[in-house]
Structure 1
């Protein structure tokens, strides 16, 4: 089966499971949803009219009065919109949850609690946008206290809302933000808690106990989600339901509704209808997740029922493990003599070690010695041992005692197969490798130095992180009163802004915030020729500060200030950094000498008998018996024969690495083998 067909089958399973779960939950729990809506719509003004026959004191009182005045069928008022919306809504929620889960993996191999929470939030927002028009019609029908025979139909209520208010924020999309907040928060807690806790609660082999485990986790997830999002549910009901005064819109926005309810009715009013909501979404959440979970889990069990076939390859050769499924294509994973390798798809660890093996004990009669030295082992769920290294399977193959350990994951049965492969002596050399200057050690040091971060210098000296220096000495003696005019927060802002600048921008900053004046002295041979005046601009106002305060705030010495003024031009522009840009150095080698080195490097041929190219973007490989030192020795001997003075080895290496993209093929060394199991011995 192709990947597309597999994806479509998985999506169909998710849609069917989610839709059936939503339908079952709505049919059973809708009366509690109606009671919850009635209690949430009951404001303080209604409570003052306690003589009203439709005033409810609680869940039981609400059900009694509804049965008395509206009939038994009134408990399912407004059920048609949820039934029409619930199946596609739940289907979309579960399907989008699976897709959002892939998006929020953040490079992790398995989903984390944050992944489940963010995927639930995204699924809730998507669900809210789809279901909000149905919620508006449902709340309108549920708030109508007429008997079922006099109740308008769902279609007539929908047409009336569209005719009077349209499809916008005052019509079918009324209270959309409250619905998004309610559903998003609920699903974030709901899915995040359920999928995070489910893996920590031990599973049961008994189907009834396993069913109870999932129901308990689903119930707890629904209760927690209901307790967190109930204020937004109250705001949604007030916005979408009938207003207290006809013709006057009292509750129009989510935050406005929350503030009004809190001011007029108190904090407890934000949690109206919590008990029926918990009674509905607690069991409802358990029903929905269990109904959704069982079809998908049973499908995965049916999909993963396989048999293991393991053939031990030659210990001196490289092997290849093929994970083979009945439906999907093969997945190839390279291994080395089946040792210390993990198949991440099925979580089975294959080891070739002497001790400390954690294993599944095969049943008698399941290990068969074949003529092709193939061990057949059928793994089922009842073979799992406690997490103690108590079992070692010993098999005599090729007159060598082999030790195999199998760690069992959640999937009951897998197929693996080991094939022979010739040993790999050379690494791949046909892949292009473009240089990445940002990862070079010298450039990393420059960036860290520019940002004021700690780094290791080229000579191995640790340079600590730049920090604002304390200037307590200038509090008493400073004539500028720097600490009184510039606060610590302003100093911190100046410090961070300074180290976010580039090197050239820092020079401009130092030049603009300092002034140099000639020192007026009687002696002409004085060492100090100039003095400096320092200042900072804080909130568009320039403050003159003392030297200690200025240098301490920027965490620098006076040398950068002196250098930027001594190197500035006549137009008061700092001189750019010219280090390494001088072409007319007296110590520079002539181009003829460098060309001789280049010609010597170009005289070699690559591994595939192609000429060496200068400044090549493609990696080129030389023979493994060569090295830069050997090439320099050959160059030195050639210069000696021609009576030419050679360059130093450091210059030869510099030209080789800077102008050529050449590498040497490395042959993998054979690892020493264990005398007992013939497996590789890893050095600690």
Structure 2
């Protein structure tokens, strides 16, 4: 074994570097991770008995556990919407300090429903501890309300969703590839019409250079051009020989090409097919002789295999 390669097979702690094989599927691992996180946000002790809102008398412990379970079964967006629907931002009613000195601009009210659907105003510690947060940790409430100022719904988290500045508009590349007129092969019936083919004298390097020459301000690498060509399902494969369906099915017929029977339907169909093919081939030769340039330069005509060129 090469010593340089052996260093890549171990970690910094000199343990063998190998990919972990997990027996549980991904969905089960995500669910287990979510349940593990929920253990940290259990229902914490409520406010004291001396609370002037009398929260304990309105919302019992079983109802608090039910709200906590439903809250942590919600998605991230649904949790923020729940907080937004059950909190309210109000202006400060009475300033104890000078207005220009006071740092407090708003006050907040919190509400919860009991098992009968009646809405009660509760204190801040009761609201936070029911959801599983610490009574002094209102960061989740502040963030949700700050994201939804003067809105009925909160502003969704857009992290990771901003379009990349380096992403190219591949429409120009597609139009450039289609300008070479890819066509369906006459010799690859099993691929038609899903796969298209370009003339064999073209190369991907030539096409990419021509595109960069025509669009100097558009940065396009060879790999990007190749990926767009692959997405369009266009190939440069050299076309092979093939038979049509009628000729292919006649090969399995009991009669041969030299012994056609007049009273056989399959033989008559094959004979008419060959007559039409010969007439088309003769007309094709006449049209080829009328051209003053190589027939391979005509993009709309199929390119003949090399060993079957017109003599």
Same fold per superposition (TM over 0.5): no
Superposition TM-score tier, normalisation by shorter sequence: 0.3 to 0.5
Q: Which has the higher strand share?
A: 1
Q: TM-score, normalised by structure 1?
A: 0.20
